[in-house]
Homo-oligomer: A and B are copies of this chain.
Amino acid sequence: MNNSGNNSSRCRIVVDAMGGDFAPANAVLGAIEAFNEKKNFDLFLVGKEKRISEVLSSNNLSFQKDFIVNADEVIEMGDSPAATLKTKPNSSIVIGAQFVRDKKADAFVSAGNTGAMMAASTLIIGRIPGLGRPTIGAEMPSVNGVCYLYDVGASKDSKPIHVFEYAVMGTIFAKEMGSVSNPKVGVLSMGEEEGKGNEVTEAAGKLLKDSKLNFIGNVEGRDILAGDVDVVVCDGYVGNIILKFGESVPKLLKHLLTKTAERSFIDKLLIGLSKGVLKKSLKSLDYQEYGGVPLLGVNGISIIGHGSSSVKAMKNMVLRANEMHQKQLVQKMTKAISEYSVKN
């Protein structure tokens, strides 16, 4: 669905209508809400045409048929990520990724099978030239606003060059999407002094030191939330564990408060009174609020959403893809990686 002829600055976004626990409804409704709000991008819906049309008609929405891309198959949440790309060549995830590979679209958004989406992005759309590994980041709340943490699970057993690449891409993301003017980059370690990282982060630190990035050296676990560093890089295994640990904190807090309330009536009263304000304050700890996350390092925009994505989350993912395109993130990362490209 578009309002004008295609031009290179107008973003073309494919949304996987079949992705997520509430597909196709949430995906279709979220995508169209985003389109109606901005109207400055082209929207394609990929999936079973009949199912998409049902959602459109039952919600009294009009959508140009030309912008519905039929895909007969659906990759289910339980399907094995890599294998399913071959066994389901007509799935919405495969066809959506091919759309970006074939330059018919600039961005692909899906709340479907995360592993399949990562595999399709990396194998079908491909990596930006010279890059070792794509990365997924997390926006951790910090005393200073946000701390961008890479990698949080796109891969594991990263090599030093990969951790270095995360820093290059994370710097561009923080600058462009987070409006941080000269992002401070730190590598996650057991202490601030050199020699306090593990083998991988120590070697990555050496590469970072020799780069033009604003590298501040080793940072510790406590620095992520403390607000003195903008981009923190580490192996995907470590980042993933921290992200999930952080996500579990509100649940522990709730438990601790309940236990305190059980011990005293006054405390129970006070906790009851302050429940709302606590919830409000803790909202930024709920990482799910952010909706989907971009897989950086792909030669096109790829945004992966939670299976449980709401209409609002889907809408935010589409708007984010549009913003990433307008800010030319893929081009900027491609240029940066080509400059920093290290043979390994």
Contact = CB atoms under 8 A, between A and B. Distances in A.
B222 A247 contact: yes
B237 A221 contact: no
Interface stretch (A104-112, A279-287, A302-310, A336-344): A279-287
B271 A241 contact: no
A256 interface: yes
A37 to B, nearest CB: 26
A259 B281 contact: yes
A284 B259 CA distance: 12
B240 A198 contact: no
Contact of A242 (B241, B247, B280, B285): B241
A216 interface: no
A236 B196 CA distance: 11
A198 B256 contact: no
Point out which of A153, A220, A234 has the most chain B C-beta atoms below 10 A from its C-beta.
A220
Count of this chain's copies in the oligomeric assembly: 2
Size category of the A interface is 35 or more
Contact of A281 (B190, B220, B253, B282): B253
Nearest to A283: B256
B251 A225 contact: yes
Contacts of A190: 153, 156, 236-237, 240-241
Contacts of A326: none
A243 B271 contact: no
A149 to B, nearest CB: 10
B240 A260 contact: no
A255 interface: yes
Point out which of A153, A199, A225, A273 has the most chain B C-beta atoms below 10 A from its C-beta.
A225
B225 A245 contact: yes
A251 B143 contact: yes
A225 B249 CA distance: 7
A234 B235 CA distance: 14
Contacts of A205: none
B247 A245 contact: no
B238 A141 contact: no
Given A241-B221, A273-B274, A280 B267 contact: yes
A68 to B, nearest CB: 35
A271 B260 contact: no
A270 interface: yes
Contacts of A245: 221-222, 224-225, 242, 245-246
Contacts of A260: 277, 280-281
Interface of A: 141-143, 153, 156-157, 188-190, 197-199, 201, 220-226, 234-238, 240-249, 251-253, 255-257, 259-260, 267, 270-271, 273-274, 276-278, 280-282, 284-285
Given A222-B248, A225-B252, 17 more contacts: A143-B251, A153-B190, A157-B198, A201-B237, A220-B240, A221-B240, A221-B247, A225-B248, A225-B249, A226-B251, A238-B241, A241-B242, A249-B249, A256-B285, A257-B278, A259-B281, A270-B277
